[in-house]
Amino acid sequence: MPLVSASSSLSPAPPTSGARTIYKYRVRVSDVSKILCHRHHNGTEEYLVRWNVAEGSATNKRTICSWHCLGELSKCLHHVQEYLETLPKSQPAASRSAPFATIPAVGSGSGSGSRKRKFSRDSDTPVSSSGVLTLRDSGYLSREPSVISIDSSSAASEAAPIQTPTVYNGILQRKEGSIVAKKSRDPAVQLTDARTLPNQAMLSDAARASVTAAEYAIQAAFQAKLQSVKNVEWENHVDNTAPSLNFTFVSDFVLGEGVYRPEADAHVGCETCRPNMGQNIGCEYPRLCACLEYAAVDENRLQPGDQARYVQYQKDQEDDGYLADSHGLPKRFPYQRSKDPQVPSTLMKFYLESRYPIYECNLNCNCGPICKSRVVQKGRRVPLVIFKTANERGWGVYCKEQLVKGEFIDTYIGEVLTNEATGRREMLSAEDRASYLYSLDKFIGDDPDNDLTNETCYVVDGQYMGGPTRFINHSCEPNCRQYTVSYNKHDLRIYDLAFFAVEDIPPRTELTFDYMDKDEEEEEIVRKKRKKDAADPKNHDKRPCNCGARKCRGYLWE
């Protein structure tokens, strides 16, 4: 059983220029509890791992800790990312409330200078002409360590490498492609109180050592994740961070435990409609199409004979809400379609300005794929870019193309969880998770059995899984709004949360929606209320809203 020496036989020989080092042995993600510190050791950027081995808890005195280069941590980069977020930032901080400054500033100005701006003039970092790090640029594993800028103080420490052990409280072994940490009784194994790590000397070294290689490794890893998503890019002209590596892009809802959704072939379709009715655009008769059973009634098309039915319908609405019996009355189709195939379908003015659910046709309809009642189900068509906002609002989203008022953008997806599961997750996380959670509560109070309540409705959690819309920021005066879109009128629990443009949006304009989904108010009223709220001490703990809109309400949540 070979002991790993202080000079770390696990670290490969410095790669020859241009060759990509293949790291055959890597630390398994499940073995890492946390990254504690970083350093430059023999010219390589290294990270101190606190192991999560079965022998002891992560807070145990004899927990194994060891230093590793990024190649060995390529499966654990999200841990490295979490560590980097705790470092003091020399650039404007992101909007997240990261735990700050575990590293004391040592010497004069040595702490902040090491994190370089990606696009500063003197930057020697590999960035494509578009400013986005591409996979091709990311030969970080093969880069000579000398490209990392070293100030005079750390150059001195390069000359005299720090004589610290590479492993504490154990030994490392190579096993089936993995690096494994083991306790050892060998007297040569140095024992340290792991609770004292990182020690003062490590913190001093860290304050001088840059984290450039890790930042590029993380950016490249996020770029690799994005490869699977069509028509979405990301860019960061503000700092060197990437969106969370703990996030996975998915293309549909991921149903959690205890969440039930009927299969698509069980949906009830409009059987009387045909593809070739009238103008050959599928469903065309608003009294006939069964998919519109619960759609909004079209008052403009009411005939004198409908009056009694309509009065009854209005009464039913008080009890049954969106499920009021509107049988026989004319309904409103959701979308208008241009004859020009280049022009996108847009949401009808009525739906755009109301919160009425939108019903699309489905697999079992006889109207066929050309039916005009199929928009959201065909998915996103517009190219989106996830970008770092310059004004401390974290990541945001813009569209590269012009969007017209009423145009569909994309849906909000994620894990669909029961209310209990959501609660359990919230207990485990100290983060402000509310911004990623979406209650599927549209039909509460409308279901005939009254089973659907705030406690029993499902919740969409976009924090760990989702699509690009998960990065859309809040605004109190938004240019997009979320609408309820259903293909299965009998399923009141799972439906699409679809974003549409509520105004014409020029290309490269940040997309926003109102997290509170409030109705629009007069600017003067909002301004007065904001002033009053700001003076009220009970609001001082609330999270301020930085949307910058004229109609900003001042706080993100109620």
Phi, psi of 213 (to 5 degrees): -65, -40
Residue of 109, 128, 110 lying closest to 118 (CA atoms): 128
Q: Which of 361, 397, 485, 492 binds Zn ion (CB under 5 A)?
A: 361
Please, are residues 65 and 16 in contact by the beta-carbon 8 Å criterion? no
CB closer to Zn ion, 214 vs 273:
273
- Smallest Cα–Cα separation from 390: which of 122, 92, 119? 92
> Closest separation between CB of residue 267 and Zn ion, Å?
9
Catalytic residue among 23, 216, 322, 412: 412
Among 39-47, 284-292, 312-320, 514-522, which window interacts with Zn ion (CB under 5 A)?
Answer: 284-292
Q: At its nearest, how many Å lie between Zn ion and the CB of residue 372?
A: 7
Q: CA 371, CA 365: separation in Å to the nearest integer?
A: 10
> Looking at 132-140, 281-289, 350-358, 436-444, which segment touches Zn ion (CB under 5 A)?
281-289
Instruction: For residues 534 and 539, give the distance between their C-alpha atoms in angstroms, rounded to a whole number.
Output: 7
Instruction: Compute how many other C-beta atoms are within 10 angstroms of the C-beta atom of residue 287.
Output: 14
What is the secondary structure of 82-111 as a DSSP string? HHHHTSPPSSPPPSS------S---TTTTT
User: Nearest to residue 267, comparing CAs of 496, 490, 492, 442?
Assistant: 490
* From 37, 365, 385, 552, residue interacting with Zn ion (rule: CB under 5 A): 365
Residue 295 to residues 280, 290, 334, 452: CA-CA distances in angstroms? 22, 10, 8, 20
Q: How far is CA 158 from the centre of its chain?
A: 39
Minimum CB separation of residue 269 from Zn ion in Å reads 5
Can you tell me the distance from the alpha carbon of 267 to that of 359, in angstroms, rounded to the nearest whole number? 12
Q: Which of 283, 358, 440, 526 binds Zn ion (CB under 5 A)?
A: 283
409 touches Zn ion by CB under 5 A: no
Among positions 373, 475, 479, 486, the unique one binding Zn ion when judged by CB under 5 A: 373
From the list 81-89, 235-243, 270-278, 438-446, the region that binds Zn ion by CB under 5 A is: 270-278
If binding is defined by CB under 5 A, does position 371 make contact with Zn ion?
yes
Tell me how far apart the alpha carbons of residues 442 and 323 are, in angstroms, rounded to a whole number.
Answer: 11
User: 515 an active-site residue?
Assistant: yes
Under the binding rule (CB under 5 A), the answer on residue 289 touching Zn ion is: yes
Q: Which amino acid is at 181?
A: A
Q: Indicate the residue among 270 and 502 with the shorter CB distance to Zn ion.
A: 270
Give the C-alpha separation, 433 to 75, whole Å: 25
Question: Is 83 labeled as catalytic in the residue annotation?
Answer: no
Q: Which of 4, 291, 399, 547 binds Zn ion (CB under 5 A)?
A: 291
* Total residues in contact with Zn ion, by rule CB under 5 A: 11
Q: Per rule CB under 5 A, is residue 334 in the interface with Zn ion? A: no
CB of 287 to Zn ion, least distance (A): 11
Nearer to Zn ion, 164 or 377 (CB): 377
Degrees (nearest 5) of the Cα angle 471, 474, 476?
165
User: What six digits make up the tokens of 235?
Assistant: 């860019």
**Binding status of residue 270 toward Zn ion by CB under 5 A:** yes
Interface region with Zn ion, contact rule CB under 5 A, candidates 55-63, 265-273, 383-391, 455-463 = 265-273
**Which residue's CB is nearer to Zn ion, number 366 or number 419?**
366
Which residues form the interface with Zn ion (CB under 5 A)? 270, 273, 282-283, 289, 291, 361, 365, 367, 371, 373
Active site (catalytic) residues: 412, 515
